[in-house]
Structure 1
Amino acid sequence: MRGPLFYILLAFVLAVMTACSSDQKTLTSLAYHNTTAHFNGYYYAREEIKKVEKTVWSSMVDDYNRVLRLCPALDSAQAKGYDKDIQEAIKMASLAIQRHPNSKWVDDSYLLVGKARFYSMDWGNAIQTFKFVNTKSLDLDTKHAAIIELVRTFTEHKEYNNAQAAIDFVQKGKLSKENKKNLLLAKAYFYQEQGDLDYMVRNLTEVTPLLKKKDRPGRIFFIIGQIYQKLGFESEAYNYYKRCLSTNPEYEVDFYARLYMAQVTEISRSKSVNAARKSFRKLLKDSKNKEFKDKIFYEMGVFELKQKNLAQALEDFNRSIREGNNKRIDGEAYLRLGEIYYDTLRKYELSQAYYDSAINALPKDYEGYDKIKARQSILDEFVKNLNTIKWQDSLLAMSALDSSALRARIDSAYQAKKRLADSNESKKKKKRNRVEIVSNTNNVFSSGDDGQQQEGDDAADWYFGNPSAMSLGQTEFQRIWGNITLEDNWRRSLRTATAQAARSTTDGATPANTEQQTAAEPAPSDPVAAEYTRVDKQIPRTAEQKKEALKKIEDAYFALGDIYYFKLLEKDNAVTSYNTLLRRFPETAYEPEILYKLYLIFKDIDPAKSESYASLLKTKYPNSDFAKILINPDYLKESSQTAEKQKELYKTGYDLYQNGEYRQALQALDQAAEMGETSFSSNIELMKVILMGKTEDINQYQFALDQFIKTHPDDPLTTYAKKLLDASHTFQTDQEKVKGIQYIRSFEEPHYFVLVHRRTDNLSAVVSAMLERFDEENFKELKLKTSNLVLNDEYILTLVDELPRISWALEYKKTFNEKLSTLTELRNHKFHSFVITKDNFDIFYRTKGLDEYLQFFERNYPAESQ
């Protein structure tokens, strides 16, 4: 007989079986499906996605020389490695969706499916899944989460317009704290991918109160500090680096935060300077920082450079190169050294060596790489011509020596070099400079007479501190190895091959070695004899050989003058080179052109001297093209032959432009333009403007197009130039819609003072008169002008121009603020006032972005001027 317990158990089993049905919506059924969907399908799918995310993050290599990435970049090759995890995640999420369609975890499971497709880079299906969740879900937070995932997906797929649309849509809703945090991070990543650090840091600073430990807040604080440091807000950068340290981040982030904190410490007293130096030394002493020594020394060099301590900066950058093995840091240290020797010390030979090393070490995507490469090319050409002069002069001097005297000189040079090497050997054993190139002991001659130490006692010891050794090393290397390709293990690749025939780094700089040598050939037993043989073959003995050597020197002096004048912008050195050429080679064929260039150089700084060169040119070379230009400025315009030459150069420049070689193209066009005005000149000018669009800021490009249109109103090319200008404006407007209005942070240029008032107040005439009176009383010497301009249907602008410098602009605004209470015309009226550069005014007037500029003004100008 069955008791009551049996029937109770039977009822329970029937209830459970009924709850398993996906069609039931009873409380029991819902509880069963919610529990099963959550702890079976959804839970395991989420764990698989976490595994994938961990794999993606762990594979990311941070580059601390740049702003760290907020999110790791996805890679299709890597995605194949975690494909099984992706498929398992989709499978488990699908079980929760299919078997428990009435549970509350269906939408969340779809989100996991979308994430899985995102990480597998299946963009189309990922987007469709997130859109489906947004459309079908009844939970507002889940809908918002789906759209935020869409933002990340569109950003990763570089569909920035769609990402912006998704951002605009989702931020209109009321978001939960979690969704708000995720949206701000997604927006920051969206702006980072487009290079917009300003908007990126705005979103990151807004998200900081919402961050939790799982979000790695220390890393985000560090990124904010990096951005502020890059934008020039060093006090803000310091604060965020400090906040980063307070979170106890992973060691590498901790190290770089401490390093950059020392870099951005505000220096107001020598005590603060010493404190910063002490912090650098403390980092060096920490044994855990051994692998970071190169970076520490590099940052020490940057710090000392800011303090105008060039000697210490040079030492620190050199130690950075010696201490580490990070190729990028080496490249940046080389670059800094090259910049110092180029811009400050004007030692172009040393600068060339450093720029050459920088180009070999830096990646091609390094910021400003094209400009670095262009300067390196100029310096290579400069040093090539300088070495030609030195070497050929040395050979001519040795041509007067007999064999015994020549051998004695070589022997003396060799012994001097050997003594120097021996005296430095003990230092090198303790600390060898890994960038030093030990020259072949057979070569005892420098390429000229300038063999002195350049940078104190240690300079001759260090390869790049000794121009003679540097030239000698380069010459000897190419004599033995030839012009081999730069690559790792270059010796090994040529071990069994014979050396190439010798090539000189400059014309005639080294001899052609007719003997075939292998890469592994030992040094000769008698280095003095070997060097004697090498040099003796190069010495010009006959009149014809001496004439050839002198011609090389003549050409090199002329090339040096042009490099100084046109590329290095060193007019004084250009004059010296040109005059040296005229003095050493009074019959030179270059004289007419040199006289014309000297006339141009002195035209604005010394008219009397300029006229003397012009008179000499017209008297001595009356039939030269350069004299004809002086006599008749329209000469080249009337010369069809010159126009044909310009067309040839134009074609060369255009072909280079088509191949993306913009710098070389510009050089060809400059050469054509230097021939003077012809009927073809407008073509050259417009092509240079088009090149500017590829190499310069868009505002400069638009300004150049506008100037071309104004100066060539009747030219047939003007119609095309207008089309280019319209297209550029359209493109810029579209970009500004995507990125937001971007004002230019360049303030050392003329400013306007702007007073913005409502059209309905009818204040234009009154404000103009008031400001003219104000200018007369306070800034009479500037002779300022006042004008009115309609901004839009709501506002009118009253402008005062032109304030020649930012200091005048700030003084004007400050005085206006102080005198405001006395300006009765403005009482009872609302208005805005600010100063603005001409470039920013163009952006402001085009975009009508009053609120945006007021924010920009508040952030970038001193508070007392606001």
Structure 2
Amino acid sequence: MIYRFVKIFSSGFSIGAILLFLASCSQYSTRPGAITFHNITSRYNAYFIAEQELAEAEFLLQQAYKDDYNQLLPILYPMDSIASGAVKPQLSNAIEKASIVAERHQNSKWLDNSYIVLGKARLYLGQWADGLEALRFVFANGKDEDDKNDALVLLMRAYIIKEDYSNALGVAEYLSQQPLKKEARLQFYLIKAYLHQNNGEYLTSVAILENTFPLLKKSPETARIHFAAGQMYDLLGQYALANQHYKSVGKNSPSYDLNFYSSMNSLQNRVFLNPDIDLSTVGFDKMLKDRKNEDLKDKIYFTMGLLAEHKDNIPEAISYLGKSAALGNKNPTQKAYTYLHLARINYESLEKFEISKAYYDSALVLLPQGILDYQIVSDRKRALDGFVTQYNIVTKEDSLQRLAKLSSTALDSKLDDIIEAREKARIEEEKRQKAILQASTVVSPVVPSSLPAVAGERRWELYDPNLIEKGKLEFKRQWGNRPLEDDWRRSGKTSTASLAGAASAPQNATPEKAVDDKLVKGSEEWEQVKAVLLKNVPLTDEQWLVSEQAKEEALYQLGKIYRFDLKEDKKAISTFERILQEYPESKHKEELYYLMFLSYGAESAQGLAWKQKLTTAFPHSTYARLVSDKTENGADNNALKNPQVAYENSYQLYARGEYDTALKDIEQNLPAYKGGAFEDKFALLRLFLIGKVRGKEDYTQAISEFLQLYPQSIYLERVKEMQELASGSFGRL
């Protein structure tokens, strides 16, 4: 009996002790036993698992990330929510486990660490608001200064990714005054260097990295950072310093590709440092013979092409770049860069604009949309589309007008020469096409007909230039060399293609001959072709006037493309000057004065001279008001008050649909708002109104002017979006 009582009592005492112990382990308790319990439980359960899941996710992301060595490598790997989708299970699990600490272990010393893991995982998933809130919570409520600094370092990185550089710099300034642990100091230096790299401040970035390298351990990651430092020194023109870092890449266990590209950049810098060196002695031949570089030969030839261009050997550069393109099937991104350089050389050095446009077209298809150059290439390709059209019109009309100035005998002889040259070119082209069909079976996609065909994998027929060439050949044999236009089969329809010179001739509706069936001079068919050519020559006053009008308008459009799209002010100025010289009474005269003012710059002597011409010759024009320092009624701009009221009045006119009145009001008084806080706001409203009243051409030009005149405007991103929409389908706003 006594034994049973003792047993019951002991059992009850044990249960009570356990309950008492658990009660004392509340997450809000400040007792040492409770704190110890929650420290151990949170550290070796929830936090440990969360930390491991996050580490695994970061490792997998780094393994999956593909560096583009033709671009400046970011010092830190990006936090890309799209790429993070592949590791969402790990990140979600990290969030779940880290949240357990926040929910059940409030008195644990691992609470701050768990919030940091939680914030970082959310940043990877693109949950920026929640991620930033978790990090700010640690800074505001954290109990450990080291944890607070770790949270701030990560917060600084998040601000950089979101391009909030002012806040990032503010955090950096605070952290620079804090006593950081070695690991936190290392991360801070790397993120600070990353901040200046993103801002294009490469000198500051590499200066920070120079102080960071002693803290880094030997690793592939350190090799990657050395490569980024070398690239930034290259951009600064410090090739010797760059080569020191490229040499350090090989000492830090790099991947084969990273080591290869480092060697390539180093060899390239040897040529920059010693321009007289022969490319054959640099070491490229040895790299080409190395079988490990079989898949990287395209990059070797690409670099040799760049160096040949640097030495002003354009034919050799084109030859090397052509070899790079021919080997680029396994690396479409590299092939895209090769096409870009071929496009640039053909545009800048050779002025072969149609070939340049074809290369830009192909590069744009192969180029990854995420890279920094993509939008630049896209804009240039779009500009060249219009440029080639207008340039061909000018070239054609110049050629036709030169023919019109010849005597009848000289003209007849010249037309014979053109037909003969055309026949020779036709036969050579068809022979080339037949050779392509016989030499290869399948080629790479999206290669213009002017580019070399490359053997490769099977593609869809419409992406197969081999089949396209075959189709063109069959078409030409049956229908002739016809332009791309509607109703091309209508009988008697002639073409107005370019007469660029003696070696070229306009296309026409006369059927082409087979390779072995050459046109005979003096034959009926020959005379028919000559008649078609002669029909395009402006021999009458009426035809000459039409030709002059077409050339003037094409020159006007060409000059604006140079000015606003290609950003080539010198060529724009020479084009505008040509219009004013050849067409002194041009209908675009007042706008040309304004464009000359913009092209020279408002602060230059030439710009001020054109401003004076504009305000003197056209004092009441819209363009004069845009450059004037006074309003239309002569009052000084500074005398106008209440820009807010003026803006509201103009906006009310816009809202009521009185677009013409609102536009006239803004353009008359826009000079009054110069230098004020409302200037770009009025200019933005003017864009909307021009879109309503004047149509696409004036609208796109006004957008380009806004981007030029207000590069710091808070509305800049919105205007860029408007520009993208305008470049596609244009509709009323």
**If the TM-score is normalised by the length of the shorter chain, which range does it land in?**
0.5 to 0.7
Query: Residue type matched to 1:724 in 2?
Result: K
Structure 1 partner of 2:236: 231
Is the Cα contact below 8 Å between 1:22 and 1:102 reproduced in 2? no
Structure 1 partner of 2:215: 210
* Superposed counterparts of 1:49-60, under 5 Å: 49-60=54-65
Structure 2 partner of 1:296: 300
Whether 1:678 and 2:620 are equivalent positions in the alignment is no
* 1:103 to 1:686, Cα distance in 2 relative to 1, 3 A: same
* Superposed counterparts of 1:268-667, under 5 Å: 273-274=277-278, 277-325=281-329, 329-330=334-335, 332-337=337-342, 339-340=344-345, 347-348=350-351, 350-358=352-360, 360-362=362-364, 365-367=374-376, 370=379, 374=383, 377-378=386-387, 381-387=390-396, 413=424, 417=428, 421=432, 437=449, 479=481, 482=484, 504-506=496-498, 509-512=506-509, 528=518, 539-540=530-531, 547=538, 551=544
Is the Cα contact below 8 Å between 2:362 and 2:448 reproduced in 1? no
Q: Tell me, in whole angstroms, the C-alpha distance in 2 between the residues paired with 1:181 and 1:371.
A: 41
- Given candidates 130, 140, 157, the residue that maps to 1:125 is 130
Q: Tell me, in whole angstroms, the C-alpha distance in 1 between the residues paired with 2:419 and 2:392.
A: 29
* 1:184 to 1:540, Cα distance in 2 relative to 1, 3 A: same
What displacement does 1:41 show? 0.8
* Superposed counterparts of 1:123-162, under 5 Å: 123-162=128-167
Q: Tell me, in whole angstroms, the C-alpha distance in 1 between the residues paired with 2:449 and 2:620.
A: 49
Please give the TM-score of this superposition, normalised by the length of structure 2: 0.61
What displacement does 1:378 show? 4.5
What displacement does 1:247 show? 0.7
Is the Cα contact below 8 Å between 1:683 and 1:717 reproduced in 2? no
Q: Tell me, in whole angstroms, the C-alpha distance in 2 between the residues paired with 1:260 and 1:673.
A: 51
Is the Cα contact below 8 Å between 1:335 and 1:355 reproduced in 2? no
Query: Residue type matched to 1:293 in 2?
Result: K
What displacement does 1:52 show? 2.7
What displacement does 1:229 show? 0.6
The number of residues matched between the two structures is 576
What displacement does 1:22 show? 2.0
What displacement does 1:251 show? 1.9
Q: Deviations over 1:53-97 (max 9, x none)?
A: 234434433222221123444444455554433332122123334
* 1:595 to 1:50, Cα distance in 2 relative to 1, 3 A: closer
Q: Tell me, in whole angstroms, the C-alpha distance in 2 between the residues paired with 1:95 and 1:570.
A: 66
Q: Tell me, in whole angstroms, the C-alpha distance in 2 between the residues paired with 1:542 and 1:261.
A: 56
Whether 1:64 and 2:102 are equivalent positions in the alignment is no
Is the Cα contact below 8 Å between 1:298 and 1:317 reproduced in 2? yes
Q: Tell me, in whole angstroms, the C-alpha distance in 2 between the residues paired with 1:35 and 1:195.
A: 46
What displacement does 1:223 show? 0.8
Is the Cα contact below 8 Å between 2:483 and 2:495 reproduced in 1? no
Is the Cα contact below 8 Å between 2:343 and 2:359 reproduced in 1? no
What displacement does 1:15 show? 8.9
Q: Please say which of residues 135-144 and 313-322 is displaced more in the overlay.
A: 313-322
Structure 1: 5+ residue runs without aligned partners?
Answer: 440-462, 464-472, 485-496, 516-521, 579-589, 598-624, 627-641, 658-669, 690-707, 732-866
Tell me which of the two structures has the higher relative contact order, counting C-alpha pairs closer than 8 angstroms and 6 or more residues apart: 2
Secondary structure at 2:299 match in 1: helix
What displacement does 1:546 show? 5.5
Q: Tell me, in whole angstroms, the C-alpha distance in 2 between the residues paired with 1:510 and 1:438.
A: 18
* Superposed counterparts of 1:29-68, under 5 Å: 31-68=36-73
Query: Residue type matched to 2:319 in 1?
Result: E
Q: Tell me, in whole angstroms, the C-alpha distance in 2 between the residues paired with 1:529 and 1:204.
A: 70
Q: Tell me, in whole angstroms, the C-alpha distance in 2 between the residues paired with 1:210 and 1:145.
A: 17
Is the Cα contact below 8 Å between 2:227 and 2:262 reproduced in 1? yes
Q: Tell me, in whole angstroms, the C-alpha distance in 2 between the residues paired with 1:22 and 1:315.
A: 78
Whether 1:251 and 2:260 are equivalent positions in the alignment is no
Secondary structure at 2:136 match in 1: helix
Q: Tell me, in whole angstroms, the C-alpha distance in 1 between the residues paired with 2:293 and 2:633.
A: 65
Structure 2 partner of 1:22: 25
Structure 2: 5+ residue runs without aligned partners?
Answer: 368-372, 452-464, 466-474, 500-504, 563-567, 599-608, 640-669, 682-733
Is the Cα contact below 8 Å between 2:226 and 2:249 reproduced in 1? yes
Is the Cα contact below 8 Å between 2:25 and 2:37 reproduced in 1? no
- Given candidates 712, 719, 724, the residue that maps to 2:674 is 724
Query: Residue type matched to 2:356 in 1?
Result: Y
Q: Deviations over 1:702-725 (max 9, x none)?
A: xxxxxx769x99775687558534
* 1:321 to 1:82, Cα distance in 2 relative to 1, 3 A: closer
* 1:646 to 1:390, Cα distance in 2 relative to 1, 3 A: closer
RMSD across aligned positions (CA): 5.9
What displacement does 1:343 show? 5.0
- Given candidates 92, 97, 101, the residue that maps to 1:96 is 101
Query: Residue type matched to 1:296 in 2?
Result: I
What displacement does 1:361 show? 1.8
Q: Deviations over 1:640-695 (max 9, x none)?
A: xx8xx7678899x9xxx9xxxxxxxxxxxx999998942337852675x7xxxxxx
* 1:239 to 1:397, Cα distance in 2 relative to 1, 3 A: farther
* 1:73 to 1:16, Cα distance in 2 relative to 1, 3 A: same
* 1:414 to 1:191, Cα distance in 2 relative to 1, 3 A: closer
* 1:49 to 1:371, Cα distance in 2 relative to 1, 3 A: same
Q: Tell me, in whole angstroms, the C-alpha distance in 2 between the residues paired with 1:120 and 1:338.
A: 39
* 1:357 to 1:129, Cα distance in 2 relative to 1, 3 A: same
Secondary structure at 1:540 match in 2: helix
What displacement does 1:129 show? 1.3
Query: Residue type matched to 2:302 in 1?
Result: Y
Is the Cα contact below 8 Å between 2:519 and 2:526 reproduced in 1? no
* 1:230 to 1:14, Cα distance in 2 relative to 1, 3 A: farther
Secondary structure at 1:66 match in 2: coil
Q: Deviations over 1:455-505 (max 9, x none)?
A: xxxxxxxx9xxxxxxxxx99x999557269xxxxxxxxxxxx999998654
Is the Cα contact below 8 Å between 2:149 and 2:184 reproduced in 1? yes
Is the Cα contact below 8 Å between 2:80 and 2:124 reproduced in 1? no
